[in-house]
Chains A and B, each alone.
Chain A
């Protein structure tokens, strides 16, 4: 007869260490190819794809760019992005609410990384789960639109706390929806003191120069 004889083992290991390991591999691959990768995260509908469409269109011929875009279902976003002449690959995540490093690694062979200057990783629209997963990106941009409320940074502090830049989108609608710019910026600064903030409108083009400088790695 066997009797359980419990023994406590101290582990102290990061639960996401497998993801972090794969992210490190991705980061090394990006560095070797000389490609700058930007992870875009926001709630659904904040304007990630619209901003990327505008970026692909306006910087065409100046910056060599491509996009890997994650969604639970459909190829809609990749199809939208391809209309602007850049390679766009859809990562269909099924029921998974975020991109992880392995999903990105799996799609990388479809790109000629050495021929790219910038690779965008458009995350699943979600302000919670993507914050836990390092993809190996050089920079993380978190978007918040003027239509979704100034307190998002306080409600989702972890996502904003991991941002290298916060982009306020749909500034052309700010007046129409009574957007409180100062309050929003104050809340962003609470979640991530000192983080650079870019205000822009993908529709009107206002503020895009600052975003393009960030895309090129010239600021933030």
Chain B
């Protein structure tokens, strides 16, 4: 259970993006979590609102996109891995030692909430 630590890091990265864009707050953000990243999406979603209190991310809606593991089988090419079977081709069981996708832990998008200048 390190999703609170992950949520705090996420808030740091997101706050930096807000500063760079001159935005005071975010209304929503999307993160990509690989199935092999050892981060549980539900735990991250649960930890985020508390961690975001008092930050520019407070009240922002968090969406988590789960990214499946992808390996390269010598016979079947790019294959989607089954996390319970390890780094093996789901078709033939050949070892697929390199993870081409599925270890992501990244902030994908932020929806900025900023005052509409025409209405100020």
Contact = CB atoms under 8 A, between A and B. Distances in A.
Interface of A: 1-19, 96-98, 100, 128-129, 131-132, 153-154, 156-159, 161, 187, 189-194
Contact of A193 (B9, B39, B87): B87
Interface of B: 1-2, 5-6, 9-10, 12-14, 17, 21, 23, 27-28, 31, 36-39, 83-88, 95-97, 99, 103, 105-116, 119-120
Contacts of A190: 85-88
Given A13-B107, A189-B86, 15 more contacts: A1-B119, A7-B114, A10-B108, A11-B107, A12-B106, A14-B105, A15-B6, A15-B13, A15-B31, A15-B107, A128-B38, A132-B6, A132-B39, A154-B84, A191-B86
A48 to B, nearest CB: 19
Contacts of B114: 4-5, 7
A194 B114 CA distance: 51
Q: Is the interface of A mostly helix, strand, loop or mixed?
A: mixed
B95 A194 contact: yes
Contacts of B27: 4, 6
Contacts of B110: 8-9, 11
Nearest to B16: A13
Contact of A3 (B31, B105, B108, B119): B119
B36 A157 contact: yes
Contacts of B86: 153-154, 157, 187, 189-191, 193
Contact of A97 (B1, B12, B108): B1
Contacts of A5: 113-116
B13 A98 contact: no
A197 to B, nearest CB: 14
Contacts of A153: 86
B2 A98 contact: yes
Q: Is the interface of B mostly helix, strand, loop or mixed?
A: mixed
Given A19-B9, A157-B83, A161-B87, A2 B37 contact: no
A185 to B, nearest CB: 13
Contacts of A159: 38
Contact of B95 (A13, A14, A17, A189): A189
Contacts of B97: 192-194
Contacts of A100: 5
A178 to B, nearest CB: 23
A132 B111 contact: no
A15 B31 CA distance: 9
A9 B95 contact: no
B63 to A, nearest CB: 12
B6 to A, nearest CB: 6
A6 B99 contact: no
A191 B87 contact: yes
Nearest to A126: B2
A10 B84 CA distance: 32
Contacts of A191: 86-87
